[in-house]
Amino acid sequence: MTLWEKMKASPVLGGKEGVISLAVLAAVIFVVLPLGVDIFRLNLIGKYLTYAFVAVGLVMLWGHGGILSLGQGIFFGLGGYAMAMFLKLEASDPLSTKIQSTPGIPDFMDWNQLTALPWFWEPFKSLPFTIFAVLTIPALFAYIIGYAMFKRRVGGVYFSIITQAVALILSILIIGQQGYTGGVNGMTDLRTLLGWDIRTDSAKYILYFVNGLLLFGAIFLSKYIMSSKFGMLLLAMRDKEERVRFSGYDVSNFKIFIFCLAAMMSAVGGAMFTLQVGFMSPSFVGIVPSIEMVIFCAVGGRASLVGAVYGTLLVNYGKTVFSETYPEMWLFLMGGLFIAVVMFFPSGLAGIWDKYATKYGWFKDKAASAKKPEVSTSKVEAQAVLTETLAETTLATDSTGVATNKATRKKADTTSAIESNKLRGAEA
């Protein structure tokens, strides 16, 4: 079997159509855009792609798990701030900060009259620890929130409002602790990574491609999870949560895991954002950016991983074009775009493909099955998993019932025999 045949047969990649969609996306990100735009625009697109990490995580969390989080900016910001702390410490060496009253600490700490580096900043002098913190701190925070909510069966709109409130609390906390976080201005003037100047054009090219590779890694990981039994149960939880619970599964643990995974993906996007843009501020942590991230996912199609990336690019490109061309009314234009998508394309860009591609001959077969590996087929398989589990439970119940009936009949026969013996004794 050739490599192409193996790829087409792979359930992880979604068959032939899944391979083609990933190949087209790879061509757009790694070939068309680098060759078609200048370095300024490419760096801007790289920033857009960091948001795509959040959108991909939301496809798993919201599209397949049915859990709408309006606080993904929390984890995007935590990952971004962790990387910014490392970069800021590197930029705050004693030689560069010799004009400060306390050299060797970040400038905003000196402005707020701190005389020593806080203890929780010390580990961020190490890049390995920083990478570890980017992945674990947001996941740990998500675990705490998820455990507190899902173990108490808090879900739906209540969970969405709570995550929104947490995002607001964290942004206020960051702004209020100006001496430790940089306040409303955030952490700026981030120049080097282990002595490598990240502001040069060559560095921007490298970071763009690294960002693209990490994004594809997140997509492949998500596809692998979706094609596994866990992915089937995730879909079943979204559609029939009580049935999954009555089948013997601990639904809360599944929800906590997928929430933590989406948080880690968002944090990686935040760290890459800091590297490519060169700063991090609380404006990317609060309610507004969190809701915008949900919009990225909705525009692309909340059930499509590839669609989420296209949706992120489209919305952010629209923001840039409208704000540059129509600075006084660009917010109204963006609002009109969102309303149009909700009214006419409720399934996003992926839904447009499903709805209209079948009208054309060459795309007919491809369009008919493009979404099935991720949604329809998965839904059927999830139903099959539940049916199988219920059948086993029923069988076990039936077997127990049969055994009980046999024991009851045996006891009744024994009782009848004793009564008969008593009667015979009385007659004698």
Q: Which residue has the higher pLDDT, 14 or 304?
A: 304
Mean pLDDT of 193-219: 92
314-336: pLDDT as tens digits: 889 888 888 888 877 877 877 78
* pLDDT of 67 higher than 70: yes
The pLDDT of residue 116: 87
The single-letter code of the amino acid at 315 is: V
Which among 217, 319, 200, 318 has a CA at the least distance from the CA of 269?
A: 217
**With bands split at pLDDT 50, 70 and 90, how would you rate the model's confidence at 11?**
low
The token pair at 326 is: 């129509």
How many C-beta atoms surround the C-beta of residue 409 within 10 A?
Answer: 10
CA distances for 328 relative to 137, 159, 324, 332, angstroms: 40, 35, 10, 9
Q: Which residue has the higher pLDDT, 364 or 207?
A: 207
- Residue with token string 């039994």: 229
> Of the ranges 70-74, 187-191, 339-343, 363-367, which one carries the lowest mean pLDDT score?
363-367
Compute the mean pLDDT over every residue in the chain, rounded to the nearest whole number: 81
162-191: pLDDT as tens digits: 999 999 999 999 998 888 998 888 898 898
* CB contact set of 34 (below 8 Å; sequence gap of 6+): 42, 205, 208, 209
**With bands split at pLDDT 50, 70 and 90, how would you rate the model's confidence at 31?**
very high
* pLDDT of 428 higher than 50: no
Mean pLDDT of 301-317: 89
pTM of the model: 0.82
Q: Which residue has the higher pLDDT, 128 or 386?
A: 128
- Residue with token string 């704000």: 323
The pLDDT of residue 354: 67
375: helix, strand or coil: coil
The pLDDT of residue 210: 95
- Candidate ranges 226-230, 263-267, 341-345; pick with highest mean pLDDT: 263-267
Q: What are phi and psi of 193, to 5 degrees?
A: -125, 105
Mean pLDDT of 182-208: 90
* CB contact set of 227 (below 8 Å; sequence gap of 6+): 11, 12, 373, 378
In 121-143, which positions are buried (b, 16+ CB within 10 angstroms) versus exposed (e)? beebeeeeebeebbbebbbebbb
Mean pLDDT of 231-242: 88
Mean pLDDT of 398-406: 47
The token pair at 2 is: 């050739």
99-127: pLDDT as tens digits: 888 888 888 888 888 888 899 999 999 99
3-state secondary structure 102-125: CCCCCHHHHHCCCCCCCHHHHHHH
**With bands split at pLDDT 50, 70 and 90, how would you rate the model's confidence at 129?**
very high
Q: What's the residue count for the chain?
A: 428
Q: How much of the chain exceeds pLDDT 90, in percent?
A: 39
The pLDDT of residue 402: 44
- Residue with token string 């099955």: 369
The token pair at 114 is: 């701190």
**With bands split at pLDDT 50, 70 and 90, how would you rate the model's confidence at 403?**
very low
User: How far, in Å, CA of 221 to CA of 205, rounded?
Assistant: 25
